[in-house]
Amino acid sequence: MLRGRTRYFELVKVLGLTDFKLRFSTSILGYIWSILKPLGIFFVLYIVFGYFIFRGADPRYKDKLLLGIFLWSYFAEASTAGIQSLLGKSHIIGKIYFPRSIAVLATSLNYVLTFMINMGIVIVFFLIDGVGFNRYSFLFLLYITELYMIVLGLSFLLSVAYLRFRDIVEIWTILITAGFYATPIIYPIEMVPARFHKLLFLNPMTFIVEYSKRVMVEGRILDGNYSAKTFIIGNCVIFSESLLLLVIGFLMFRRSAPRAAEYL
pLDDT of the chain, 264 residues: tens digit per residue: 445 567 777 778 787 777 777 776 666 566 777 777 888 888 888 888 877 677 667 788 899 999 999 999 999 999 999 999 888 777 776 667 777 888 899 889 889 988 998 898 899 899 988 888 888 899 999 999 999 999 999 999 999 889 888 899 999 999 999 999 999 999 988 888 888 888 888 889 999 999 999 999 998 887 666 667 778 888 899 999 999 999 999 999 988 877 766 666
Is 6 inside any structural domain? no
**How many domains in the chain?**
1
Is 122 inside any structural domain? yes
Is 207 inside any structural domain? yes
Is 223 inside any structural domain? yes
- The three state secondary structure string of the chain is CHHHHHHHHHHHHHHHHHHHHHHCCCCCCCCHHHHHHHHHHHHHHHHHHHHHHCCCCCCCHHHHHHHHHHHHHHHHHHHHHHHCHHHHCHHHHCCCCCCCHHHHHHHHHHHHHHHHHHHHHHHHHHHHCCCCCCCCCCHHHHHHHHHHHHHHHHHHHHHHHHHHCCHHHHHHHHHHHHHHHHCCCCCCHHHCCHHHHHHHCCCHHHHHHHHHHHHHHHCCCCECCECHHHHHHHHHHHHHHHHHHHHHHHHHHHHHHHHHHHHC
Is 4 inside any structural domain? no
Is 23 inside any structural domain? yes
pTM: 0.89
Is 128 inside any structural domain? yes
Is 5 inside any structural domain? no
- Domain of residue 238: give its range: 11-263
